[in-house]
Chain A
Amino acid sequence: MNSSLNFIGMEVSVIGLGLVLMLADLFVPAERRRFIGYLGIGVLGLLLLFSLGGDGSCSTFGSVFNGSFVNDPLSLFFKRFFLVAAILVLFIAAEFSDRLSEGSIAEYYSLIVFALAGMLFAASANDFVMLFVSVELITITFYVLVSYQRSKIAALEAGVKYLILGALSSAFMVFGIALIWGTTGKLNFTELAAVAGQYGDSKIFLLGVLLVLVGLGFKIAAFPFQIWAPDVYQGAPTPTTAFLAVGSKAAGFVLLLRVLFSAVPSVTAQWGNLLIVISGITILYGNLCALPQRNLKRLLGYSSISHAGYLLLGVAALNASGQAAILYYLAGYLFTVLAGFLVIALVLRHLDTEDISGLAGLNQRSPLLAATMTISMVSLAGIPPLAGFFGKFLLIKSAVEAAQLTCNHGYYCLIFTALAGVVISLYYYFGVIKVMYWSKEAKDLTIIELSAPAKVTAWVCILGIFWLGLFPNTVLNMANAAAAVFAVVVK
């Protein structure tokens, strides 16, 4: 038992941290509460260092709790990922704290940390119970996080929409789990994988798997479960949106990967076409809807849908390079999206609307922020030398490999759909750049003063984007090692 607790040391510390932050609220005077966030950042940073140093709890590979909790390269990759994301989001939240004054900011921090705990569990989930609990932990915290600005009607509206649709998807997922368990009698992924092949013809079983995928599809905002994303992205406080875009989506993906390639690999192998279609439509839907969009956060909401589509391309490829590509892409996406939301949080926080025109003249107001936003948009579009390019490159490569291996022309159709999507997306991403550099709408040209942490965050994001774009070796090796987890299952 003791050793089991060692395995979940990181999760436990994170939950502890959440409690500490919440309690700290009681002892810290109101005007200094935003600095509580830096405490959280510090602790999470330490955990990250441990995990990178290789002697943290999460780097001991193995499984505990009857195999329901597993530590392997995949979970390690995602735990680091979530830690980085949470740290950066806490930075953003600290900058954004004056807009969150209705509730206590410390509670907001602790909710982020609790969501992080859910994500960490999700990274290690290896059975349906753990999957369900971690998903719910994330989702329920996000209900609160989304509607945190209680005085803003939009935030409440977003919260309710997320709540109802989230609960709906949970219901589907739970029902799906029930059907899977009912037909196979297994909840553990590893055990299920051993028997799943026998149930390939059982419609009830397939229905169950599909319903679970519906729940996960909701989390990653894939078509046709993407409908909530724009509204929630728009209404939620910016740090929440950022965490939603990065953390929640990544958690969805790690679970999706586990279910598809660990739990039911034999079923997944039949679903290439389904995944191709979903991926293609998701890409087109996100990009097309974003095209006329003027609200920045809503724009990023649509863009996040399209990125779910690109990521699904790696899933649809059904091969190891596709899975590695997803991980790499997510890593790049982390820095890229957080860079974007950082700028939005800093620049638009005093404006009522989040219209793109709010960025007008940003190049004069703060060259660093303009550069950060530009790099973020360019990386989202997937253009060298930035992270987004290398990620898309890997994704396309995996799809081409799949196409040549299977002779399925659907893959090429999907690739060209993705290309069309990229070209469409250039239009709106570059539209943002245009506004910052040469829009005529610029009226307010006051210089934006940046706090030191904000600058640090911006630079971390920029360097991260360049690092992943220029020196892909380290992370790519990690991603390859993580993806190798599934190869074992297949054999």
Chain B
Amino acid sequence: MHVGLQHYLAVSMILFCLGLLGVILRRNLLVIYMSLELMLNAANLALVSFSRFNDKLDGQVLVFFIITVAAAEVAVGLALIVALFRKRQSAHVEDLTSMKL
């Protein structure tokens, strides 16, 4: 079987959806956050495969940007989650409902 662009895209799409499901379904903030990273990486995979099959490097460059940004995001995000955990002794989303309506 020849592995073409569609397959890579399909994998990337599946990864993206898995990430999405993780965000929606999992209760733990850290897991949710990891699912988000999964979604970003799905985008990266798509970019890289487009890059490979279109013979253009712009996509690869963009991936570097994304990885960098994601790293920054993770740094801030994890710090936040940790601060919250310290405060509440919990990293579950159900506990975060002091503001509503």
Binding site for B on A (CB under 8 A): 128-129, 132-133, 136, 140, 143-144, 147, 150-151, 153-154, 156-161, 163-164, 167-168, 170-172, 174-175, 177-179, 181-182, 185, 187, 230-231, 234-235, 298
Contact = CB atoms under 8 A, between A and B. Distances in A.
A154 B95 CA distance: 12
Tell me what chain A mostly uses at the interface: helix, strand, loop, or mixed.
helix
A237 to B, nearest CB: 14
A153 B88 contact: yes
Contacts of B77: 143, 163, 167
Contacts of B80: 143, 147, 156, 159-160, 163
Given A153-B87, A234-B99, 18 more contacts: A133-B69, A140-B72, A151-B87, A158-B99, A163-B80, A167-B36, A170-B73, A171-B43, A174-B40, A175-B16, A175-B43, A177-B47, A177-B62, A178-B43, A178-B47, A182-B46, A182-B54, A185-B56
B46 A178 contact: yes
Instruction: Please indicate which of the listed interface residues B42, B84, B99 has the most CB atoms of chain A within 10 Å of its own CB.
Output: B99
Contacts of B73: 136, 140, 143, 167, 170
A279 to B, nearest CB: 24
Contacts of B44: 174, 178
B36 A178 contact: no
A181 B59 contact: yes
Contacts of B98: 153-154, 157
Nearest to A208: B46
Nearest to B38: A171
Contacts, number: 119
Given A136-B72, A171-B19, A175-B39, A235 B62 contact: no
Contacts of A143: 73, 76-77, 80
A157 B99 contact: yes
A107 B51 CA distance: 40
B14 interface: no
A147 B44 CA distance: 29
B73 to A, nearest CB: 6
A167 B59 contact: no
26 contacts: A136-B69, A140-B76, A143-B76, A150-B83, A153-B87, A156-B80, A156-B84, A156-B87, A159-B84, A160-B81, A163-B76, A164-B23, A164-B36, A167-B36, A167-B73, A170-B69, A172-B39, A175-B16, A175-B43, A178-B46, A178-B47, A178-B59, A181-B50, A181-B58, A182-B9, A182-B47
Nearest to B91: A160
B56 A164 contact: no
A147 B81 CA distance: 11
B90 to A, nearest CB: 11
Nearest to A231: B99
B18 interface: no
A480 B32 CA distance: 45
Contacts of B16: 171, 175
A164 B47 CA distance: 23
A159 B80 CA distance: 7
Given A153-B87, A167-B77, A174-B66, A181 B36 contact: no
Contact of A129 (B39, B65, B81): B65
B96 interface: yes
A178 B84 contact: no
Contacts of A230: 99
Interface string B13-57: 000100100010000010011001001101110110010001010
Nearest to B5: A182
Contacts of B84: 156-157, 159-160
Contacts of B10: none
A234 B99 CA distance: 8
B61 interface: yes
Contacts of A156: 80, 83-84, 87
B2 interface: no
Contact of A144 (B19, B40, B43, B76): B76
A45 B96 CA distance: 40
A129 B62 contact: yes
